[in-house]
Amino acid sequence: MMHTPLNLYGLFKYSQQMYPEQWIVSRGPDGQHRYQYRQFGERVRRLSSALRALGVQPGERIGTIAWNDYRHLEAYFAIPLMGNVLHTINLRLPTDHLRYVIHHAGDRVLLVDEALLPLLRPIGEQLPHVRAVIVLGDHPNLTQSPLQPAYAYEDLIAQADPGIAYDPDMPEDAPLGICYTSATTGNPKGVMYSHRGLYLHTLGIGMVNGIALSDADTVLPVVPMFHVNAWGLPHAAVAFGAKIVLPGPQPTPQDLVDLMKQEAVTLSAGVPTVWLGVAQILEKSPVPLALRMVLCGGSAAPPALIRTYEEGFHIPFTHAYGMTETTPLATVARVKGTLRDRPAEDIANLKSTQGLLTLGLDMRLVRDGQDAPWDGETMGELWLRGPWVADEYYDDARTPMSFEDGWLKTGDIATIDPEGYVRLVDRAKDVVKSGGEWISSVDLENALMAHPAVFEAAVVGVPHPKWDERPLAFVVLKPGKTAAKEELLEHLGQYYPRWWMPDDILFLSEIPKTTVGKFLKRALRDQYQGHLSS
Amino acid sequence: MMHTPLNLYGLFKYSQQMYPEQWIVSRGPDGQHRYQYRQFGERVRRLSSALRALGVQPGERIGTIAWNDYRHLEAYFAIPLMGNVLHTINLRLPTDHLRYVIHHAGDRVLLVDEALLPLLRPIGEQLPHVRAVIVLGDHPNLTQSPLQPAYAYEDLIAQADPGIAYDPDMPEDAPLGICYTSATTGNPKGVMYSHRGLYLHTLGIGMVNGIALSDADTVLPVVPMFHVNAWGLPHAAVAFGAKIVLPGPQPTPQDLVDLMKQEAVTLSAGVPTVWLGVAQILEKSPVPLALRMVLCGGSAAPPALIRTYEEGFHIPFTHAYGMTETTPLATVARVKGTLRDRPAEDIANLKSTQGLLTLGLDMRLVRDGQDAPWDGETMGELWLRGPWVADEYYDDARTPMSFEDGWLKTGDIATIDPEGYVRLVDRAKDVVKSGGEWISSVDLENALMAHPAVFEAAVVGVPHPKWDERPLAFVVLKPGKTAAKEELLEHLGQYYPRWWMPDDILFLSEIPKTTVGKFLKRALRDQYQGHLSS
């Protein structure tokens, strides 16, 4: 068989040949921009030429700080096709992390939305390796750029040669892009994507046993293009010839509903918060939508939200799970053909899991170094392996903490049922290990927060002389409500066995939180580590 | 990204983990056999162990002479998974070719249906490298085997160890199987398939922009498993967890209709003759079928047959095109999402083409060494490239005739329309090259045979002093009918331009044919080469 490489050029060429007339719609500050794949392809080539003319050398990293729009989509292709690495920068990073990732990746050029230039102001002088900024916008004021020289994207495109020749034989292991993921402590960690990995990830998105994306779809990626390549959807949509709708800067739920209605969107993807917001609009003023799939990931969707879409709006709602290290698609909570006749309750249960492993990947459930049974009850850490799974962090000493024996240790604690459905129950660092048994802190927290008097609850494992660790609960009551420890334990006892019960429940005025609002369980563990052993 | 190989083990392991309870139904001489993937997997492992116990060494070829049944399916997996090469032997080959392919591949063991043992009788003594025959059947009479030692498949399986460990890291470029394809002259030519090629071919079958095979399907491959791996369907069906229905030895159209009805088959695949036969049954006694796709390949289906299925039976009928050298799926005549609103006539026209290139492959239309335009009119030879396209014939000096600059020259003359739909118009050796323009001999033949007086017609190009070549037509009239040359030319003139008209029409009592009934145009060309130049 021929040794033709699996690279982005193959997907781009195919798309340009087969779908020159397909549409790309982009919401912008000044209304909508619409063009066809043919024009998209020409501008992709011009962008590559323009970057080459700026002196960009093969293999160098080029950063983007941009919302989901057509210019960002052009960069998604132009940069890897010319043999460079697309670094999509999370514009919500704190300033010191923003500086770190641009510096660590060694970005030579930055493509920045005009409205996002202020993000560079505090760090502009600390990025000497950035040789140029290209400002994305219709008529940008280049003097506003904290880094110079600055160029207007449209001016560069207009002057550039559309005739650049891409290398059809780009090796499939060549790097294509890099994304950084937040670490529990310290600086973000970089994950380098290869052409091969992205290519195979794309095919996974196109399979019926997957996302089933095709040229019959209209795709609206709400998930930002600075988050793990918007879950692979922009590359896949172009490859499969789907109509693409890009929501532009900071879309409101109403903007999204309007776009979905006007463009007859069939597939959209975003985090639970997005779908909560959209649900509020649809509940107030229902509109007919063409959605065949709402893809929800990033964190677990509440079962009530899934029900609202499936039963209330008759819009199929599909959970997916993955991480920066997995390009990101790892599991999709689709209903197997063999299970479609199950009772509605079973189906709802399956849809609330993280779902089935994507064909192409391999998984293990690891507990104390051994494979745990897939019985839907035994907890273990989820390990992943496959051609779109990272095998290291880019130039980072923390690599050995997350990779072992050729597997990625996700840090997620899960159960897997006999049909292969993965359900996340905790983070590895938070699960409570009591006398050889594991207790999900997240399950206990959710149960506590379901009590009418409880505003917030956190559960951590603390050292225990007999059981190694035991759960300790922290509760913040709602204003004006009261609840005794015994009442809360009785409440928990309805759902979980005796040995899951926290050894103590402490009432706090607030739970310590990280800068992004997550519970800072480490602080609680540190402060209360002697609570059960003293 | 991890360097995990694309091999059959990945697909097999996934299938065994995700779909242990899916069904495989197999029609046999003594009724139906039914079991689940779990039992299938165990028997696959036992077969590998049994072959190993017979002394089979890694990389050796193992031949199968068998119909489509569950034992053949077990061989499809057991042989490549253990690092050996599956040689599916066309049981319809003439005896000398049968001997040639077994000898050329160097098969060490043959797996043979009990009823097909007589095929080996004339050649048994000429196959000294075959060390054993394994007879497939419930209670075979081993003394009937012309080659010894002979073993009963079920006895070997029963005694074998189901605990064999497969190598999960089998290199993706390792050979997986070999098929032989008929040559115009001389012995069949072998095409060696790799794990990587088959893996990627499988993903193509699972994409919506492809065959869209999934775990919601029930697949009935009518195309024999000795023809290019039954178009890749058995491997793909197992990978995707589809229910599989195997039609066993020599199914009649009625057998097929019965199976499709009883098992609620959603996807079936075969050559036009099969679908003609099935259509006759369905026209006589209509039955409700669950078919979502009839896949038709091997040769072009008459437009009337496509209409019968689509309009008469409301069964979607999909043309596909490929060859032994392309694993085989190259194009599929599906209707793009962007074209679904076209008038019914346009859709029917698209469905009569060979279809759209599968994502993953690349194609050229080559004419006189240059790329011809994709205008739906200009003819050129179809060249193909991609990871499931052969780059040589196995150990065969004829390789350079079919491969050039990294491309497979298919030998098929086609047009490609601006949307990318490929339409085959002739074989390269038969197209008439007249003054730099190309004339399709097949189109002229079909037009002549549409005349009410014509029974058979063949058109060949013969040397011409001014135009290099000009078309010469040969016609066999129906018994009792008459038609003058002028009348036939007038008939042709309704459909084709003046310069397409044959320079002469000769009336014969019969057209010389090959052993399989195809026109022997070479004989006509040889005999009449001086007809226009003398």
In chain A, which residue's Cα lies nearest the Cα of B390? Answer: A1
Q: Chain A residues with CB inside 8 Å of B390's CB?
A: 1-2
pLDDT value for A398? 94
Banded pLDDT at B516 (limits 50, 70, 90) = low
Q: How far is A521 from chain B (nearest CA, A)?
A: 32
Number of domains in chain A: 2
- Residue A484, number of CB atoms within 10 A of its CB: 11
Which active-site residues of A does the annotation give? Answer: 181, 325, 433, 438
pLDDT value for B302? 84
B21–A192 C-beta distance less than 8 A: no
B337–A362 C-beta distance less than 8 A: no
pLDDT value for A219? 98
Q: Chain B residues with CB inside 8 Å of A331's CB?
A: none
The interface predicted TM-score of the complex, written ipTM, equals 0.93
Q: What angle do CA B528, B529, B534 make, to 5 degrees?
A: 95
Q: Rounded to whole angstroms, how far apart are CA atoms A58 and A82?
A: 7
Across the interface, which of A10, A17, A197 has its CB nearest the CB of B1? Answer: A197
Among residues B67, B231, B275, B438, which one is catalytic?
B438
Q: Chain A residues with CB inside 8 Å of B208's CB?
A: 206-208, 212-214, 216, 240
Q: How far is B19 from chain A (nearest CA, A)?
A: 7
- Kindly state the percentage of chain B with pLDDT values over 70: 99
The set of residues, in sequence order, having a beta carbon less than 8 Å from that of A246 and lying 6+ positions away, is: A24, A25, A26, A27, A68, A69, A70, A72, A73, A220, A221
Per-position b or e across B64-90, b if 16+ CB within 10 A of its CB:
bbbbbbbbbbbbbbbbbbbbbbbbbbb
Across the interface, which of B11, B338, B385 has its CB nearest the CB of A215? Answer: B338
Best of A1, A403, A416 to mutate (most B CBs within 10 Å, chain B): A1
Please list the rounded mean pLDDT of every run of 10 residues in chain A (534 residues): 97 98 95 97 98 97 98 98 98 93 98 97 92 97 95 98 96 98 86 98 97 98 96 98 98 97 98 94 95 93 91 96 97 95 93 96 96 97 98 96 96 96 94 91 91 94 92 95 95 93 95 80 92 82
> How, if at all, do strands A218-221 and A243-246 pair?
parallel
Residue B384 resides in a domain: no
Banded pLDDT at B283 (limits 50, 70, 90) = very high
> How many CB pairs below 8 Å do chains A and B form together?
172
B420–A1 C-beta distance less than 8 A: no
Across the interface, which of B194, B214, B386 has its CB nearest the CB of A208? Answer: B214
B214–A18 C-beta distance less than 8 A: no
In chain B, which residue's Cα lies nearest the Cα of A358? Answer: B14
Helices A253-262 and A272-284: angle between axes, nearest 10 degrees: 70
Residue A319 resides in a domain: no
pLDDT value for A222? 97
The set of residues, in sequence order, having a beta carbon less than 8 Å from that of B395 and lying 6+ positions away, is: B104, B190
Q: What's the token pair of residue B280? A: 């006759």
| Residue ranges making up the domain that contains A437 | 432-528
A3–B387 C-beta distance less than 8 A: yes
Note if B181 is an active site residue: yes
Question: Which of these three, A204, A235, A251, is where a domain ends?
Answer: A251
Across the interface, which of A193, A338, A406 has its CB nearest the CB of B215? Answer: A338
Banded pLDDT at B125 (limits 50, 70, 90) = confident
Claim: this prediction has a pTM higher than 0.80? yes
For B96, B109, B123, B129, B188, the CA distances from B103, given in Å and listed in that order, are 11, 11, 10, 8, 12
Residue B234 resides in a domain: yes
Residue A31 resides in a domain: yes
Residue B331 resides in a domain: no
Residue A344 resides in a domain: no
- Kindly state the percentage of chain B with pLDDT values over 90: 92
Q: How far is A337 from chain B (nearest CA, A)?
A: 4
Question: Which of these three, B251, B286, B316, is where a domain ends?
Answer: B251
Q: Chain A residues with CB inside 8 Å of B13's CB?
A: 362
Residue the block writes with tokens 């003139």? B493
Q: Rounded to whole angstroms, how far apart are CA atoms A334 and B386?
A: 31
Question: What CATH code is carried by the domain that includes residue A113?
Answer: 3.40.50.12780
Q: Rounded to whole angstroms, how far apart are CA atoms B104 and B187?
A: 10
Is residue B534's pLDDT more than 70? no
Residue A422 resides in a domain: no
In chain B, which residue's Cα lies nearest the Cα of A406? Answer: B2
In chain A, which residue's Cα lies nearest the Cα of B394? Answer: A1
Q: What is the tens place of the pLDDT at every residue in B181-193?
A: 987 778 999 999 9
Nearest to B2 by CA among A174, A200, A406, A328: A406
B386–A4 C-beta distance less than 8 A: yes
Residue A210 resides in a domain: yes
A337–B2 C-beta distance less than 8 A: no
Instruction: Show contacts of A405-408: CB within 8 Å, 24+ apart.
Output: A406/B2, A406/B4, A407/A364, A407/A383, A408/A325, A408/A326, A408/A383, A408/A384, A408/B2
Best of B1, B215, B329 to mutate (most A CBs within 10 Å, chain A): B1
Across the interface, which of B197, B203, B374 has its CB nearest the CB of A1? Answer: B197
pLDDT value for A516? 66
Q: Rounded to whole angstroms, how far apart are CA atoms B368 and B438?
A: 11
Q: How far is A325 from chain B (nearest CA, A)?
A: 9
Question: Which of these three, A216, A251, A286, is where a domain ends?
Answer: A251
- Residue A262, number of CB atoms within 10 A of its CB: 11
Q: What is the tens place of the pLDDT at every residue in B30-53?
A: 899 999 999 999 999 999 999 999
Nearest to A54 by CA among A163, A107, A133: A133
Nearest to B9 by CA among B129, B215, B230, B164: B164
A213–B3 C-beta distance less than 8 A: no
Are B108 and B131 within 8 A, CB to CB?
Answer: yes
Question: What CATH code is carried by the domain that includes residue B511?
Answer: 3.30.300.30
Across the interface, which of A21, A206, A362 has its CB nearest the CB of B207? Answer: A206
Q: Rounded to whole angstroms, how far apart are CA atoms A157 and A138?
A: 12
How is residue B185 annotated by DSSP?
A: S
In chain B, which residue's Cα lies nearest the Cα of A191? Answer: B1
Q: How far is A270 from chain B (nearest CA, A)?
A: 22
Across the interface, which of A21, A193, A214 has its CB nearest the CB of B1? Answer: A193
